[in-house]
Structure formats: structure tokens, C-alpha cells
Chain A
């Protein structure tokens, strides 16, 4: 019997190796995988830095940390007319390391003196590789926190959604008749509903925390179009000879549903799951950007704060408040999507080149 187990393991190892090889051949899939792994790394990095004490929580906590960034400023008085000797245009005064005396309200400094001010938000420096935001919080730490939020939200809502749609789709395929008709109409209805406006409305009635959002997204996703696709896959499995074989032997409907149909629908469901993560992350960032989420920190929130405090309109002057968060959303959703494409090639032999 030991021999049997060894042979089985050997065959399994070969199969896993082959699937891995197939996935690797998909360049898109591999790029996606690297991206996702990178962000996963960021997710784990933050708690490690805190636990090992490399980072001082007081300074680096993304929500309540505070770091003073002092810089010397030269006090100047900006002229009324331009151009002058020193300045070409109105926007050149005050310069980067200068401050206009007219904007100093709590200081006795005179023109020509240098004063020291707390510069928040501060550009990237050695202590803060992505700089700090207007409250002195480390941006890189915020990115890592946002990564945790994205993964939790994405995976939770995707799992919930796929779970619901797989069960509903399989039931629709299996029982047919009125149940099927009802589920299809329900799916059509949910498909018609625009997700984001729906979320806006929900957020008007109830305070949305991240868990709530995950559940809502999961349910909406689960009741939507994926039910129809999974139903069609289940229908294909239902007419296969091995299902007939189980019926002839005397298997009950539930038995056949769970042991034969569901396992064969699972690969498609897995694919859906990966794709729906991208939608979840994107939805979250939009909602946070509009200030509709009750959440401590996320990428969408970072951009929301930047906008609300007016930093977005100063062009690229405060790029570290906008670019890292925006790029993170883009890359992580893109990464998951590419992984899905890579998986598609593994499951769908016809998509492969050879």
C-alpha cells in the first residue's frame, strides 16, 4: 500500500509541475503573479516592522503616527508686480525654501530672517521614503496598510460572491423549471443595477465599514451575471455520461450535485473569483475617494484626503500624496486580472499557443 501512495504522489507532482509550467508560459500570468506577490509582501512587511521594533509605532503608524519634519525657511516679502529681478512670475514667489511674510500669522519674524517650520506634507526623505502626509503620517506605511485593506476586502468579497453564484448557478442548472426561471430573472435584475450608484445609496442609509462593504459587494457580485455563466457550465457537466452513470446506479440528485457537478464547475468559479477581486478593490477606492466609507486608512482614502485638502490641484508639487496610492490601485487590480488571464490559459487548453 505504501507503493500505491508513492506512485500517486509522483503522478500528482508531475501534474502540478505541468500546470505550473503552463502557467509560467503565460507571460501575462507571471507578470500578474509577481505584482500580486509584491503587494502581498508589503502587506506582511508592515506588521513585521512594527513587531520587530524596527519602526517606532508612534512615528510610523499610518493612522495616528506623527513625524515632525523641520525645515529652514527664508522670510521674504512677495512683490506686487512681476517680473522682477528675483522672480519671473507670481507663482515663483515664495520659492520652495521661502515663506511669504504675509502668510505668517503667529510669528514675529521679519523679512530676511530664517525661521524653522514644520513642513507637512513633507517630500520623501531618508526617514520617510515616500514622504509624509499633511498630518505627518508616513505615506509608505499608509500604502502598506492600504494593501492589507485591499487584500482582505478583495478576497472576502470575491469568496462570498463566488460562493453564492456557484451554488445558485448549479441549483439553476440542476433543478431547472421555475427555480431556474426565477434565478435567471433575478440575475438579469442585478445585472441591470449599476453597482456604484447602488453603493452610494446604501452608504446614505447605513454607515459602511470595510467589512460591510465586503459583504455588500459579495452579495451583489454573487447574484449577478456570474450565476448565468456558472449555470451554463453546470448544464454542460450535467449531460456528461459520468453523470448519467451515477443516475443509473441510483445516486440521488443531491449526491450527484455535490459530488459530480460542483467539483467540475469549481475551476470556472476560481477564475471568476480572481477577476472579481479587481472589481472589489476598484469599488473600494472609488467609494473612499468620495468619502463614503467609514474607514481608517486605504488607498482610496489617501487620494480623498489629498483632494479634500487641495493638494491635488497643485500639480505635481505634492506627487507623493497622489501617485503611490493611485498606482497601487492600478497595479494591484491589474495584477489580479493578469493572474486570471494566466489561469484561463491553464484551464482552457484552446487558448494556449501550443
Chain B
């Protein structure tokens, strides 16, 4: 039974939208509306959903980029061997803690500073945290470039991002992310802007590194096929809530929530002879049912480790 690296309980992130200069009403957008999940050490969780469902917001909150509105996020603290809430971290402690979390972004073109060369880009985390001396740091950059497949490293270190291809840039992002040996990496659709034929090489690289370094991933994607390849478990999000969460193969073979079923059945299959059955779903109906029940009931464990949000589908189940 693995220890949990992260435990998320009833996480909420609201954004205030003012009605304008002359309006007193401030409406609230509930981007993330009470979600809970665990991520054990060395395992990966996929967060799947359509644009606007709250997955990117969740990613930003968990990587400590944006503050949460409500709820609790616990990380495993090595020193005390217990779960510690991130609320308790401040100042220097918080900065040190940041070594454990990293993020890989979707856009290979915008996630590297165009005015820095590759060596400096990968060096930055080491510089910020003052690890070792200059020679050690350059050694580390050299080694990690080899690990991500950018060899010979001397060819890449003096180059600038615009001189590299999209795939190479994502490798640089991965190198920079992993040089600090974090425990937790949030991946925001890192392959969706890459050519189809090279996506697998990037994903395989990430899977291998996860195994070698015991890294846990939170993998955000809208593509269930990719989530299947990368993740042990998948959580399906809709309108700020998790509607279903289960181990990957279980979710794909036995989806229970209507939204999950609709999602899975919408995916085109690369096989012309496969007859795909679309699961029809009335979205306005689903939306109104979810909205009408706002006391965040906990999800129900339908099978072993397979949870479904039930407040909206009691009638259907």
C-alpha cells in the first residue's frame, strides 16, 4: 500500500467577475467546485475533461501558482513522515518546498524564455536554490540533457529555443523540470501541440523518467487516448467537479457516469471497420441537475477504487 504523496480535499477555486464600473454585483465563477482525490507516490493521475471544466485551474492551484479559495491540499512531509497542509508553509520553507513540484506546459514555443540559451534555462532552478557550485551545476545540466535524449549535449547547451524543433523544446522543458528531482510534476497537455508521430517518444520519455525517479504525475489532457497511455488512474471533470474517478482500464471498460460514457463514446477510433456507438446525453439536463444539488456530497465507491459522483445521477443508477 503506497503512501500518498498528495491528498486533495474539497478544493475550491472561485474567480470574481465584476459586473462593470457601475455594477455592484460581483458574480463568481466557480472554476473548481469542491474536488477531492489522492495521488500515491510514483503513480500518475489523469485529469480529463473539456475546456472550461476546471482542469487547468486545478493544475495551477496544485503547482502553487495561484492561491486556492477553499479546501485543503496535503503534501507528504519527509521529515515528519506525515501529511502536511500547504497552508502551513511560508517564506523560506515554502521556497524550499517548491523544489518538489514542477510543471510542464503545453506550448513548447512559449514555455522557454526566447532570450536565454538552453544551458541557462536548465540551470535556472539550480541557481534559484543554490545547489552545489558552478561546476556541479553545469555537470548536472550536461547529464540531464543526455537523459532526455538531446545528445551530444554540447551541441544544445549554447543554442537558443527558436533554433530547436517543438519536440526538442519539450525535451528541454522536461530536462529543466526534472533536474531538481521533484516528487510531483503537473503536466498540462505537453504533447497536444506536437506532431502525432513524435508524441509517443515524449510520452515514453516521461514514463521512463517517472519510473526511474519515482515521480508522480498529474496529467491534464482532453484526449482520453493519451490519458490511457500515460496514467494509472483517470479522473473525469465536468463544470468544476469530478464526476468519476477510477483506474484507467476500469474506467474505459466500465464507465458509469453519463458524462463519462458520452465522452468515451465521442472519441473517433483509428479503425475504419469499428462501429462506434454514440451515447446520447442532454447536456442542459445534466448541467441543471448538477447545479440544483450543491451540497457537495462525497463520491460513492461503486467498485474497488472506482468512485462516481452520484448527486446527479441517482435517478439513472
Q: Which A residues form the contact surface with B (CB < 8 A)?
A: 1, 3-5, 7-8, 11, 15, 240-242, 244-251, 255, 260, 263-264
CB closest residue in chain B, given A267: B115
Q: Give which listed residue, B96, B124, B155, contacts A7 with CB less than 8 A.
A: B155
Residues of B within 8 A of A260 (CB): 113
Check B114 against A264 for contact (C-beta < 8 Å): yes
**Bound-complex Cα distance A263 to B114 (A):** 9
Check B124 against A248 for contact (C-beta < 8 Å): no
Check B111 against A255 for contact (C-beta < 8 Å): no
Contact with A along B123-151 (1 / 0, CB 8 A): 01100110000000000000000000000
Q: Is B194 an interface residue (CB 8 A)?
A: no
Residues of B within 8 A of A244 (CB): 65, 103, 105
| One of B157-165, B241-249, B262-270, B291-299 at the interface | B157-165
Residues of B within 8 A of A250 (CB): 95-96, 98-99, 125, 128-129
Question: How far in angstroms is the closest Cβ of chain B from A138?
Answer: 48
Residues of A within 8 A of B128 (CB): 246, 249-251, 255
B53-95 residues with Cβ-Cβ distance < 8 A to A are: 63-65, 95
Q: Is B176 an interface residue (CB 8 A)?
A: yes
Q: Is B187 an interface residue (CB 8 A)?
A: no
- Known A-B contacts A255-B128, A260-B113; the reply to A8 vs B105 at CB < 8 A is no
Check A242 against B112 for contact (C-beta < 8 Å): yes
Of B113, B115, B180, the most chain A CB neighbours within 10 A belong to: B113
Q: Is B110 an interface residue (CB 8 A)?
A: yes
Q: Is B260 an interface residue (CB 8 A)?
A: no
Q: Is B154 an interface residue (CB 8 A)?
A: yes
Check A5 against B158 for contact (C-beta < 8 Å): yes
Q: Is B107 an interface residue (CB 8 A)?
A: yes
Q: Give which listed residue, B64, B107, B157, contacts A248 with CB less than 8 A.
A: B64
Q: Give which listed residue, A4, A242, A249, contacts B98 with CB less than 8 A.
A: A249
Q: Which B residues form the contact surface with A (CB < 8 A)?
A: 63-65, 95-96, 98-99, 101-103, 105-107, 110-115, 117, 124-125, 128-129, 154-155, 157-160, 163, 173, 176, 180
CB closest residue in chain B, given A262: B115
Check A248 against B63 for contact (C-beta < 8 Å): yes
Check B158 against A8 for contact (C-beta < 8 Å): yes
- Known A-B contacts A11-B158, A251-B128; the reply to A240 vs B102 at CB < 8 A is no
Check B158 against A241 for contact (C-beta < 8 Å): no
Question: How far in angstroms is the closest Cβ of chain A from B3?
Answer: 23
Check A242 against B113 for contact (C-beta < 8 Å): yes
CB-CB nearest 4 A-B residue pairs = A8-B158, A250-B98, A241-B111, A4-B154
**Bound-complex Cα distance A7 to B119 (A):** 14
Check A3 against B154 for contact (C-beta < 8 Å): yes
Q: Give which listed residue, B112, B115, B129, B176, contacts A263 with CB less than 8 A.
A: B115
**Bound-complex Cα distance A246 to B95 (A):** 12
Check B158 against A245 for contact (C-beta < 8 Å): no
Check B158 against A249 for contact (C-beta < 8 Å): no
Residues of B within 8 A of A246 (CB): 124, 128
Check A4 against B158 for contact (C-beta < 8 Å): yes
**Bound-complex Cα distance A264 to B110 (A):** 12
Contact sample, A vs B, 8 pairs, CB 8 Å cutoff: A7-B155, A8-B158, A241-B105, A242-B110, A242-B111, A245-B105, A250-B95, A250-B96
Q: Give which listed residue, A3, A11, A247, A249, contacts B163 with CB less than 8 A.
A: A11
- Known A-B contacts A240-B110, A241-B111; the reply to A11 vs B124 at CB < 8 A is no
**Bound-complex Cα distance A248 to B125 (A):** 10
Residues of B within 8 A of A11 (CB): 158-160, 163
Residues of A within 8 A of B95 (CB): 250
**Bound-complex Cα distance A143 to B34 (A):** 75
Check A245 against B129 for contact (C-beta < 8 Å): no
Of A1, A8, A15, A255, the most chain B CB neighbours within 10 A belong to: A8
A241-B106, A244-B105, A245-B103 given; 20 more Cβ-contact pairs under 8 Å: A3-B154, A4-B157, A5-B158, A8-B117, A11-B158, A242-B111, A242-B113, A244-B65, A244-B103, A245-B176, A246-B128, A248-B102, A248-B103, A249-B125, A249-B128, A249-B180, A250-B95, A260-B113, A263-B113, A264-B114
Q: Give which listed residue, A1, A245, A251, A255, contacts B154 with CB less than 8 A.
A: A1
Check B155 against A249 for contact (C-beta < 8 Å): no
- Known A-B contacts A4-B155, A5-B158, A11-B158; the reply to A248 vs B101 at CB < 8 A is yes
CB closest residue in chain B, given A4: B154
CB closest residue in chain B, given A246: B124
**Bound-complex Cα distance A330 to B110 (A):** 42
Question: How far in angstroms is the closest Cβ of chain A from B125?
Answer: 5
**Bound-complex Cα distance A242 to B114 (A):** 9
Check A264 against B113 for contact (C-beta < 8 Å): yes
Check A248 against B158 for contact (C-beta < 8 Å): no
Residues of B within 8 A of A255 (CB): 128
Check A249 against B102 for contact (C-beta < 8 Å): yes
CB closest residue in chain A, given B126: A249
Residues of A within 8 A of B113 (CB): 242, 260, 263-264
CB closest residue in chain A, given B154: A4
Check A7 against B158 for contact (C-beta < 8 Å): yes
Residues of B within 8 A of A263 (CB): 113, 115
Residues of A within 8 A of B103 (CB): 244-245, 248
Of A8, A240, A248, the most chain B CB neighbours within 10 A belong to: A248
Residues of A within 8 A of B114 (CB): 264
Residues of A within 8 A of B124 (CB): 246, 249, 251
Check B159 against A8 for contact (C-beta < 8 Å): yes
Question: How far in angstroms is the closest Cβ of chain B from A16?
Answer: 12
